[in-house]
Chains A and B, each alone.
Chain A
Amino acid sequence: MSTVGDYVSRIEGTCGAESDIIVNFRFEKKDEAIKNILKKATLKNTIAGIIFELNYEGVSFRLYASGKAIFRGFKTKVDLMHFLAKLLL
């Protein structure tokens, strides 16, 4: 059975008060991760065909074609992991 760790190589909390959280997908699984996310989340907008502005369960975030997603508003990485599990698996 797949886990979030199968798709995600690294999660980094950024510096600064706005505290974005950057999720890097594993290179070999990024296309599958993007496909899974696009299947579940609602597409609000695309920018230049490489940024997808999405919403899932009230959470807005941006997904990048090269295999990154940037989230905001999660208090902890654990909360984000729960969210990613719903989104990816």
Chain B
Amino acid sequence: MDIQSIRQDFPILNRQINGNPLIYFDNAATTQKPRQVIEAITDYYSKHNGNVHRGVHTLSTEATDLYEKSREQTAKFINAKSHSEIVFVRGTTEAINLVAYSLGCSNLGRGDEVLVSMMEHHSNIVPWEILSKCKGFTLKYAKVHDDGTLDYQDFESKISNKTRIACLSHVSNVTGIINDVKRITKIAHEKGALMLVDGAQSVPHMHVDVQETDMDFLAFSGHKMLGPTGIGVLYSKKELLQKMSPFQGGGEMVKEVSCSQDHCAISWNEIPYKFEAGTPNIAGAVGLGAAIKYLSDLGMDNVFAHEKELTKYAVNCLKDCNNVTLYGPSELSKKCGIIPFSVKGFSSHETAAFFNEYGIAIRSGYHCAQPLHQIFKLDSSARASFYLYNTASEIDCFVEILKELNG
């Protein structure tokens, strides 16, 4: 990949922050947008804006074509069998909530179990916790080793014939650890459980094939993969989506609403529309389609290889820095471009504020993954996360400034 040429596509990378060129290392939180995505959204609003489906006028037809084209691009990107297996949602959080509430309300109850890991983002814990209190099922937590890697033995041993669904991040948003979701999916299926994969940190960075892994659900967000905020995806197998109850009610998701004074008969629309109540984020979907095209043109294997190189380079530079502690596995083959760290004598927020003085954006806090920070015995951590437009010279600058913080 020609990184310098790629960087020309991202107008925001020309910005100065506090008198310094922006170095954006907060890609696990959200990514910057190439002009191709910005232009696709502008073009949509400038020329094609209309509400989708069941409109006969030209703008509605064009908007529908663009919206559905994006669904087809998304299906192809993750190798779904059909575009009807792609549900557009607001983001990963809504996708997981959709599964939790749809399955949970009608299929989970006392005696059932749901399994999550201790490395999950809160969005893959909290919906299940809320629902377990209402429905009476048991939520189990699989252990994580001290270096943040999944305890596969514990996860696998906790999948029983009572487990209805197992939930796991493909890539940890704190450590960048890549979990073997294919292995876990196989075991879940052997025990009759469904498998939900949080792909928020994997789909933007590597080739993910839903058929090859055989996962039942995959959730991911557009804004973490060059697309706009407010658009995300739930993938699920056709036969599952057909069986599941709707998550939200409203227009678009119904085929027929027939009411008398004391009775109302409702039939659901076909999938995926059954799960897309109300006017969807059409411009967001168009932007996501442009982002997927951009990534596909570059090739996900190239994107992944570039980030691996950057991670290796950064870890090598950082591991010898005084007063800096890196978290996560020492074996880099198990992880991708996320580096959590702390600096002695500084809170994560103080560290991030220091970098900001030099125009470097990193994240601080517990990154919505408090259980994992408890395992690391940390209140919070600083996190640098890379994407396709980052360079080794940016890492050099980052390391130099870190040395200044250390005096």
Contacts and interface: CB of A to CB of B under 8 A. Distances in A.
Nearest to B358: A50
Interface stretch (B69-77, B213-221, B345-353): B345-353
B366 A15 contact: yes
Contacts of A16: 348, 365-366, 370, 373, 379-380
Interface in B342-383: 347-350, 353-354, 356-357, 364-366, 368, 370, 373, 379-380
A70 B347 contact: yes
Nearest to B349: A20
Contacts of A36: none
Given A16-B380, A66-B18, A47 B354 contact: yes
A22 B352 CA distance: 11
Given A16-B366, A16-B379, A22 B349 contact: yes
- Chain A interface secondary structure, helix, strand, loop or mixed? loop
Given A15-B380, A48-B404, A48-B405, A20 B357 contact: no
B373 A50 contact: no
A47 B365 contact: no
A82 B324 CA distance: 35
- Chain B interface secondary structure, helix, strand, loop or mixed? helix
Contacts of B365: 14-16
B359 to A, nearest CB: 10
Contacts of B347: 18, 20, 70, 72
Q: Which of A20, A62, A65 has the most CB of B within 10 A?
A: A20
B407 interface: yes
A17 interface: yes
18 contacts: A15-B365, A15-B380, A16-B366, A16-B370, A16-B373, A47-B407, A48-B354, A50-B354, A51-B354, A51-B357, A64-B357, A65-B18, A66-B356, A68-B356, A70-B347, A70-B349, A70-B350, A70-B353
Interface of A: 14-18, 20, 22, 47-48, 50-51, 62, 64-66, 68, 70, 72
Given A22-B353, A47-B407, A70-B353, 14 more contacts: A15-B380, A16-B348, A16-B379, A16-B380, A18-B347, A18-B379, A22-B349, A47-B404, A48-B354, A51-B354, A51-B357, A62-B353, A66-B356, A70-B350
